[in-house]
Amino acid sequence: MNLLWPAFLYLLILIPLMILAYTLILRRRKPFAVRFSSLSLIRGSLPKQSQWRRHFPFALFLIALSSLTVALSRPVSTITVPASNATIILAIDVSRSMCSTDILPSRLEAAKTAALKFVQTQKGNTQIGVVAFAGFAAIIQPPTTDHDLLETAIQNLTTARRTAIGEGILKSLDAIAEIDDSITSPSSGVEAVPLPKGEYIPAIVVLLTDGASNTGIPPLLGAQQSLDRGVRVYTIGFGTTNNTTIPNCGFQIQNNDQFGGSFGGGGGFRREIDEETLKQVADLTGGSYHLAASATELQDVFENLPTQLMTVKQTREVSVIFAAIGALFVSLAIAFSILWHPLP
């Protein structure tokens, strides 16, 4: 807890001065004597707990004065609250291996369907952006709350050669930086100031891929950039094992190098998800890795993403709490004083 006006704490010196004045007043009261025939009568005439009742209201008053003094110093506290306008970037692999039909009608179409359903289930104030990556990455749709724009962007995704996972992460950070001035864009060339360990901004990247990075910057370098900016990356490995299906993206396969991938029997793409790297990316940034081998599993992954756990730290003034405590103790001091020492 910090104080906006700490100089007001000097008023606390009034507390010992008031105690001193209170003690002097009690000592200056004129003594008087009353004759009793027996000491037992004296003890019987004294009310029980007379001493602590005598001073208790004054003690309550001192506590109230202390609390009100702290309130004057305007204390502020940093608290964590749910983010009111979270940002989610869907970074989707559109390399040509996503044309594989081991997941019908194809990996890409199944990914589109899951992404569309995910968009439809998000709250209206959640900003969602779409990044596509193959040999390079591009922001297909900047973060927006317009679901129609998002659906159009997802439906229009098409494939290209190679897989640049690291570039997909960097471009996702660029998309977040467009609407969040608290982070720097990697493409700006300005070095980011790393956030304290364990602190994150209310933005995440959901990265879906069915392969391994084979161009662009290494994924772990992109993950480090994301960590420095406090952006968690949740990675999804998508595809089945031993895939030998025929690609279905509406083009003719000429040779292996054209698509930047490997082929199995019958001209299909083999599943080559680099799970180890995807796990490292997720672990480094504070996210998690998920494997989906079917359209149903992919939809389950999207549904279970921790989008409701995004929080933001806010600094709020808590003077009202100390003022309320002070008012309470003042009221108690007055009440007990009237109750135990009524005016004649």
Q: In terms of DSSP bridges, do strands 311-317 and 75-82 run parallel, antiparallel, or are they unpaired?
A: antiparallel
pLDDT at 262: 36
In which band, very low, low, confident or very high, does the pLDDT at 74 lie, cut at 50, 70 and 90? confident
Mean pLDDT lowest among 26-30, 109-113, 338-342: 26-30
- Which residues lie across from 139 on neighbouring strands? 131
pLDDT per residue as tens digits for the range 137-151: 999 999 999 999 999
pLDDT at 103: 92
**Residue 54 pLDDT > 50:** yes
pLDDT at 317: 82
pLDDT at 261: 38
Between residues 51 and 172, which one has the greater pLDDT? 172
**Residue 178 pLDDT > 90:** yes
Q: For the chain, give every domain's residue range.
A: 2-27+50-79+316-340, 84-309
pLDDT at 259: 35
**Residue 191 pLDDT > 80:** yes
Q: Is the pTM of this model over 0.75?
A: no
pLDDT at 57: 86
pLDDT at 268: 45
Mean pLDDT, range 298-326, rounded to an integer: 81
Type of residue numbered 234: Y
Task: Say if CB 299 and CB 235 are below 8 A apart.
Answer: no
Mean pLDDT, range 129-138, rounded to an integer: 97
Q: Which two tokens stand for residue 78?
A: 């940093």
C-alpha–C-alpha distance, residues 193 and 229, integer Å = 7
Classify burial at 120, counting beta carbons within 10 Å of its beta carbon; exposed 0-12, middle 13-18, buried 19 or more: exposed
Between residues 271 and 211, which one has the greater pLDDT? 211
Task: Say if CB 239 and CB 107 are below 8 A apart.
Answer: yes
pLDDT per residue as tens digits for the range 211-237: 899 999 999 999 999 999 999 999 999
pLDDT at 207: 98
User: Which CATH number describes the domain made up of 84-309?
Assistant: 3.40.50.410
